[in-house]
Structures are given as structure tokens and as C-alpha cells.
Amino acid sequence: VAHNRRLKAMRLAIVLLDAGVWRPEQAPDRTIRLAAERVGIHPPSPVTCHMVRALMRYSR
């Protein structure tokens, strides 16, 4: 499960970066869930949303 969660978080982080959301502060859960809906990914849990923001933080 953790591996799948990481993969989903990475995919969502890439979608957000492509959409111009560069900083974790610009990505509340709602924004991440809307991005997931846009690309056809099942809405992420709060834990996955947190992981997306962590990935964005470390990619800088």
C-alpha cells in the first residue's frame, strides 16, 4: 500500500508542477483533489495529499 501511495503522490506532484503549482503552500488538499479529478485519478486521502506536498518541498 505504501508503495502505491508513493506512486500516486509522485504522479499528482508532477500534475501540479505541470499546472504551475510550484510550492507546497499553493497546494491545499482541495487543489490536489481537483488535479486528481482532472487527470482521472481516484481522489487522494489526506495522507497522500501530505505526501504530495512533501515531494514538492524536496524537489526544490
CA–CA distance, 12 with 6 (Å, rounded to integer): 10
- CB-CB contact of 52 with 16 (8 Å): yes
- Structural domain boundaries enclosing 6: 2-58
CA–CA distance, 35 with 9 (Å, rounded to integer): 12
Coil vs helix vs strand at 47: helix
Residue 23 DSSP one-character state: S
**Residue 14, pLDDT score:** 96
pLDDT tens digit at each of 60 positions of the chain:
678 999 999 999 999 999 999 999 999 999 999 999 999 999 999 999 999 999 999 765
Taking the chain, what is the end-to-end CA distance rounded to the nearest angstrom?
Answer: 26
Total count of domains within the chain: 1
